[in-house]
Chain A
């Protein structure tokens, strides 16, 4: 029999219904595991002290009414940029140290209403500025596969929480790669919804025009269940779409992918890329063919252009979004910003300044439009496109410190889809040097269902979603 931390959403619910275990037992198990492994891995920053009380209430509910809520009694790890009322929320920045939110983010409100239990808040790059979780003001998170490696970022704590099995589901946010890249480096499944599909209300803003909250789970199926709960129009976020939310978790099960057209992006197999990584992507491509999809090589703009576009737009928005931390409120002065955050504020302030706006911000938006148009042309012919998530496996700790553009280089293959606001999933497709390698499957805007279907089918036919043995790693 599987241990509690190895169960997925459905397995936990089956266990509750069959009275194999109680919610209190599950939560207790996770809290003990966190107590044991967190000091080393530094995944959780804050723990929900009410988790066991909430679990008791869940057990009562199940005995009275069974399971009528989709996430009832499911243990969640929540990235520390989601505001959780009364539970310290810092975005891993000293400037918000001790901050107790006055209100709840829409996403965490929705998962709570669906019955989820939040175990705690997870470490991240400070204000999500990075792809390593090393810019956190509260120390780096370590990769559960190899503690000399980075977990990726910015949702590094959430990805590591799933990989280390310190939660069943984690919430992350992605601005350009911040869900898919750490999911890939930690060898778990991370889903980025279309921009505007999931509300940003109550998520501490990084780059407002690309921020997309999404789940990190043990499987595409779990991601689909969670996305079905958190997606939808929010009258508190004017950028959310009024399109109805599809029932992602129903109807994703597909024996094969017959009739689907998949493009494999030539330019994403970078010349500088590790051959082993390339081969794993090509293997995945063969697997899709085996499952009945047609796979063709397609061409997109050199992804290096996206780095420039993304960097300018994101830094500009960051410089504006962080202006409210002016030292008057929130307890700390601006010197509490970390180096990376200061760098981003400086660069963004520069790119928006009089005389430079046209050369940087406006130009970046023009190229962004070109990228969007290029994708929409491509999606006329293809249902999804695939490629690697990162140029290689998880990098060594410490590498990001002296390279201000480190994150952008690592996210080169994820930035184009982010600035186009597409939906995409990152999932493991093999291992290189004992470290997981990620595959991304990207669909057109609001085509979440197709992405889930392809990823789910892939995971039912392969077995790359593995978990490290922490006793051996630590």
Chain B
């Protein structure tokens, strides 16, 4: 039996615009006193009307461009209708059939492309707080988050392992941070993940697709990865028991319990919502001009993958490059010294990644101090090593019989003799040479 996970992910990214999506209230709501950043529009009071935030739309298009999407020249908002106490108007303004961007991709390091179906703009909901007040259990609504601009990035179901999913998510995270449209702080809920998972089970007598599960509102890459792994196993086990296959009616919605590390059923398709989408009559449709697209393209800085490529070309190892590419301070240091012949740029990269050098301090001075080369005088070192060999004939015998790891004893002793001044690489060679004689 061969099992292939099939994974697609919806990512919600909260934008860092000054104001909300459809009103002038501040959009930075984290940690603010409840209901202090509201107005008739985001409270959904009678008569209030949404006025779209142009900056947010530009940010949404930038995300699309950074994800290699096509920008749709004709676009509009729609109303997505459902009841929930945190939804002030009884509908969410979102985009249905004409998102701002569609048909892009993210390239994984393996060269595999993960398709992006669409990148669309919508508004966040309020937040419920379930608390006990005067001994009574009550639910309170905080509308500070209501109307905060959200971009939803919907991938195609192109990922086939939790590792690919995690890599995809990290890349999205790096990209939105790099282009500066979102702080994407997972702990603050500024980036929320919803994987949809099923599996392809191939047996001798044919192949089967297990029913789809959408896992809601995950706020860490690790949880997403764990939830996917759990879900894949659960679906395979369930298939073994029931033989149920994917159909148009049996998609379920599940939650993830990060403590128990399990997913759990929230809603089955029978209870699925009909969102009754229709065009938002309060907001005229958009015609996106090519000029705007070009302007936004110019504003997008180099993306992490491009930076990694450039770093590798200048001689930085790929493992360092990936870390440096998403750290502005580190990148600045590398940019500054990449043409300085006195420094080995890869060595410098290693030192700053491993925090051997304080990047806020005197970089060059520290580099020279830390990377100071030890004693490489072979003759001097040979003298030291020969003395140790003479004092340890039995170990030399063992080495000759093939127990080559005793060489480390000699290196260690020699290092002690030299007070740590020997260059490890040279010393190592000297020891090997003398023992092999």
Contacts and interface: CB of A to CB of B under 8 A. Distances in A.
Given A83-B47, A201-B47, A352 B276 contact: yes
Contacts of B277: 352, 357
Interface in A34-90: 81-83, 89
B90 A323 contact: yes
A202 B282 CA distance: 13
B419 interface: no
B278 A235 contact: no
A357 B278 contact: yes
Given A239-B282, A317-B281, A324 B44 contact: yes
B187 interface: no
B276 to A, nearest CB: 4
B412 interface: no
Given A202-B40, A323-B83, 5 more contacts: A96-B46, A101-B46, A202-B48, A320-B90, A328-B141
B281 A201 contact: no
A332 interface: no
A469 interface: no
A99 B48 CA distance: 15
A326 B46 CA distance: 12
Given A320-B90, A361-B278, A236 B49 contact: yes
Nearest to A235: B51
Interface string B45-82: 11111111000000000000000000000000001010
Interface of B: 40, 44-52, 79, 81, 83, 85, 88-91, 141, 274, 276-278, 281-284
B276 A324 contact: no
A200 interface: yes
Contacts of B281: 207-209, 239, 317
A349 B278 CA distance: 11
A324 B85 CA distance: 10
Contacts of A283: none
A201 B90 CA distance: 18
Given A239-B284, A320-B79, A203 B89 contact: no
18 contacts: A83-B47, A89-B46, A96-B46, A102-B45, A200-B47, A201-B49, A204-B47, A205-B47, A208-B281, A238-B282, A238-B284, A316-B278, A320-B91, A323-B90, A324-B90, A328-B141, A352-B278, A354-B276
B75 to A, nearest CB: 14
A94 to B, nearest CB: 14
A326 B83 contact: yes
A253 interface: no
Contact of B46 (A207, A319, A324, A353): A324
Contact of B47 (A203, A207, A323, A353): A203
Interface string A233-247: 001111100000000
A320 B278 contact: yes
A354 B274 contact: yes
Contacts of B48: 201-202
B91 A202 contact: no
Contacts of A208: 281-282
A117 to B, nearest CB: 22
Nearest to A323: B90
Nearest to B139: A328
A105 interface: yes
Contacts of B284: 238-239
Contact of A237 (B45, B51, B88, B274): B51
Nearest to A210: B281
A349 B276 contact: yes
A80 to B, nearest CB: 11
Contacts of A238: 49-52, 282-284
Contact of A326 (B50, B52, B90): B90
Contacts of B79: 320
A406 interface: no
Contact of B81 (A101, A202, A323): A323
Contacts of A200: 47, 49
Contact of B40 (A99, A102, A361): A102
A322 B48 CA distance: 12
B138 to A, nearest CB: 12
Interface string A190-206: 00000000001111110
A138 B389 CA distance: 109
Nearest to B45: A102
A264 to B, nearest CB: 32
Closest 3 CB pairs of A and B: A323-B90, A208-B281, A352-B276
A205 B50 CA distance: 13
Contacts of B274: 353-354
Contacts of A316: 278
A317 B85 CA distance: 21
Contacts of A99: 46
A353 B51 contact: no
A352 B283 CA distance: 19
A328 B282 CA distance: 24
A149 to B, nearest CB: 31
Contacts of A349: 276
A303 B283 CA distance: 28
Contacts of B45: 101-103
Interface string A204-224: 110111000000000000000
A208 B276 CA distance: 16
B98 to A, nearest CB: 14
Nearest to B90: A323
A206 to B, nearest CB: 11
Interface in A352-388: 352-354, 357, 361
A7 B274 CA distance: 55
A367 to B, nearest CB: 16
Nearest to B280: A208
Nearest to B40: A103
B68 to A, nearest CB: 31
Nearest to A96: B46
Contacts of A105: 47
Nearest to A316: B278
Contact of A352 (B40, B50, B81, B282): B81
Contacts of A324: 44, 46, 88-90
A278 B274 CA distance: 48
Contacts of B49: 200-201, 236-239
